[in-house]
Amino acid sequence: MDGRGFLCGSLSIPSPSNSSFSHESLSRSLYFLNSQVHLPKRLSQFQPLPVLRLRCGNAQEMVTPEPSVSTPISDYHHIDQKLLQNMVYDALVWSSLHGLLIGDKSVEGSGRVPGVGLVHAPFALLPTSFPESYWRQACDLAPIFNELVDRVSLDGKFLQDALSRTKKADEFTSRLLDIHSKMLELNKKEEIRLGLHRSDYMLDEQNKSLLQIEMNTVSSSFAGLGSIVTELHRNIISHHGKLLGLDPGRIPVNTGASEFAETLAKAWCEYNNPRAVIMFVIQAEERNMYDQHWLSVVLRERHHITTIRKTLAEIDQEGELLPDGTLSLDGQPIAVIYFRAGYTPVDYPSESEWRARLMMEQSSAVKCPSISYHLVGTKKVQQELAKANVLERFLENKDDIAKLRECFAGLWSLDDSDIVRKAIESPELFVMKPQREGGGNNIYGDAVRESLLKLQQAGCEENAAYILMQRIFPANSTTYITRNGYCQKDQTISELGIFGAYLRNKDKVIVNGQSGYLMRTKVSSSDEGGVAAGFAVLDSVYLM
């Protein structure tokens, strides 16, 4: 959704430029603002900042001004304290009014009840500089990766073979493979295939290249809040840009929320049952619910489609698989299943959740993702696809294959004894990755050596639960990180995620393109990078 600006009339709010300004006075002001100002029912009546658009592959992005009109966002020392306070204050008010929100973990019920315990999502005060050539490269890769995921998903033997040893070492992957095997035995065909993906990249400073970190095929988060933080940055720069020497036109349009919702709506149309609804599969406690609710709002207000939110346990209790394959919850048919849960073992505390997953997979509902799409996103499959001559199994276009290979970082199985030896000798050059999603799972530094030595003692079967990846070393930059109302300057590194949407009905490709982006920035001393996991902040791109 586009961010909008509100006029507060003559409402008196203490100015941050006042010498008596404090975080306490800001909190009181925001409380007063929320209680006194009656906001419009629909944000969409406000006009966004004007933009110009051009095609980047299948993506829309900003037409940037000539290079002479802008400077890199790299030197923050010239920002005086008064200007900084004004920007922070404006950003916090804007975020509160425009839904850049998450649940406050210190408030009970904030992950279950909407409107309880709201706090602004952590964000960078200003966008991060990013070279335009690499931005275009990342956008151009999105439709190729979308097509690759679809092609690989159809090769059941490849997926089973690639993950056969992982199945023995990792119980969670084993259960997913069991469901996939049952679908193969039933010869279950997914004629309507839907993918909402996110491919994550970093710029390697040593090799001056854009390298892929991972391909997310399940619960690709922050299309909603990522779109809003982009509008926040355009708003801040439009008001303060002259003092900073910055141009809001250099921030690419971010249409993640609207394009994800539109693709979900098109999948609903392809299912062709006007009575059916779209079901969001959610975790019982979800502080990031507002990122999801933005998609629901667009689906309801723009496409007039009803959405419901259910946990896996609720689906098991309320769900029924009808003889014709329809999934029904309390008599309500489900057209599209959008997973925002089910990607981690924590989401399956009992057999109830696994029964729900199998029932959904057996149904005729459009699944985002299907079990095969889910498996394509595993670390082991990513490593297998990086092997010589494997991409040629799925793609014919040599230029597309070359583009994919150019962005592949080094990826190795722990069966490679030479690489394992090098990783033990120089653990700082590698990342050790398990088959897990959601942040906080990877192994870095000396822990890589320790983990590899333990695995050698345990035996080779345990190796299959992990892969080794080349560690990427991006350049440091300076960022004002804003979290819980406080802003501090720190040295940071950033990770660019490009959203991709794919929808196919039999032989007809309905959607295939780049669908917005997510920039995440973290303190350079931190290894992990998840926003929801508390390691990073939401950011956006400033093209250079």
* Ligand-binding site membership of 249 (annotated): no
* Ligand-binding site membership of 522 (annotated): yes
* Ligand-binding site membership of 470 (annotated): yes
* Ligand-binding site membership of 81 (annotated): no
d(CA 483, CA 91): 11
Q: Is position 241 annotated as part of the catalytic site?
A: no
Selected catalytic residue, list 146, 165, 437, 529: 437
Phi, then psi, of 453 in degrees rounded to 5: -65, -40
Selected catalytic residue, list 165, 234, 357, 520: 520
**Contact predicate 299/335, CB 8 Å:** no
Cα-based torsion angle of the residue sequence 267, 272, 275, 281 in order, rounded to the nearest 10 degrees: -30
**Contact predicate 410/204, CB 8 Å:** no
- 3 state SS of 254: coil
DSSP 223-243: HHHHHHHHHHHHHHHHHHHHH
Q: Is position 377 annotated as part of the catalytic site?
A: no
Which two structure tokens, joined as six digits, stand for 194?
């839907």
* Ligand-binding site membership of 433 (annotated): yes
* Ligand-binding site membership of 438 (annotated): yes
* Ligand-binding site membership of 520 (annotated): yes
d(CA 130, CA 148): 26
d(CA 467, CA 445): 15
**Contact predicate 360/165, CB 8 Å:** no
* Ligand-binding site membership of 532 (annotated): yes
**Contact predicate 393/381, CB 8 Å:** no
Q: Is position 221 annotated as part of the catalytic site?
A: yes
* Ligand-binding site membership of 151 (annotated): no
d(CA 240, CA 234): 10
d(CA 211, CA 207): 10
Selected catalytic residue, list 167, 310, 380, 433: 433
* Ligand-binding site membership of 389 (annotated): no
d(CA 109, CA 117): 7
Selected catalytic residue, list 95, 199, 221, 477: 221
Selected catalytic residue, list 190, 214, 270, 384: 214
Which of 338, 425, 413, 422 has the alpha carbon at shortest distance from 373?
Answer: 338
* Ligand-binding site membership of 444 (annotated): yes
Q: Is position 146 annotated as part of the catalytic site?
A: no
Q: Is position 198 annotated as part of the catalytic site?
A: yes
- Return all residues near 387 (Cβ < 8 A) that are at least 6 apart: none
Beta bridge partners of 539: 519
Which of 87, 89, 66, 65 has the alpha carbon at shortest distance from 76?
Answer: 87
* Ligand-binding site membership of 58 (annotated): no
Which of 140, 132, 102 has the alpha carbon at shortest distance from 224?
Answer: 102
**Contact predicate 212/408, CB 8 Å:** yes
Q: Is position 216 annotated as part of the catalytic site?
A: yes
* Ligand-binding site membership of 111 (annotated): no
Which of 304, 342, 367 has the alpha carbon at shortest distance from 503?
Answer: 367
d(CA 95, CA 466): 39
* Ligand-binding site membership of 436 (annotated): yes
Q: Is position 428 annotated as part of the catalytic site?
A: no
Selected catalytic residue, list 165, 379, 380, 504: 379
Selected catalytic residue, list 129, 216, 364, 370: 216
What single letter denotes the amino acid at residue 5? G
* Ligand-binding site membership of 471 (annotated): yes
* Ligand-binding site membership of 281 (annotated): no
* Ligand-binding site membership of 351 (annotated): no
* Ligand-binding site membership of 216 (annotated): yes
* Ligand-binding site membership of 435 (annotated): yes
Selected catalytic residue, list 156, 241, 410, 438: 438
Selected catalytic residue, list 4, 165, 193, 198: 198
* Ligand-binding site membership of 218 (annotated): yes
* Ligand-binding site membership of 36 (annotated): no
* Ligand-binding site membership of 198 (annotated): yes
Stated as kind and residue range, the H or E segment containing 480 is strand 477-483
* Ligand-binding site membership of 220 (annotated): yes
Q: Is position 433 annotated as part of the catalytic site?
A: yes
* Ligand-binding site membership of 214 (annotated): yes
* Ligand-binding site membership of 287 (annotated): yes
Q: Answer left, alpha or beta for residue 265, where phi above 0 means left and psi between -120 and 50 means alpha.
A: alpha
Q: Is position 406 annotated as part of the catalytic site?
A: no
* Ligand-binding site membership of 275 (annotated): no
d(CA 428, CA 194): 38
State the pairing for strand pair 192-204/486-505. antiparallel
* Ligand-binding site membership of 108 (annotated): no
Binding residues for ATP, by number, are 214, 379, 433-442, 444, 469-472, 495, 522, 528
Binding residues, by number, are 198, 214, 216, 218-221, 286-288, 292, 340-343, 379, 433-442, 444, 469-472, 495, 520, 522, 528, 531-532
Binding residues for substrate, by number, are 198, 218-221, 286-288, 292, 340-343, 520, 531-532
Binding residues for Mg(2+), by number, are 214, 216, 437
Residues acting as catalytic residues: 198, 214, 216, 221, 379, 433, 437-438, 520
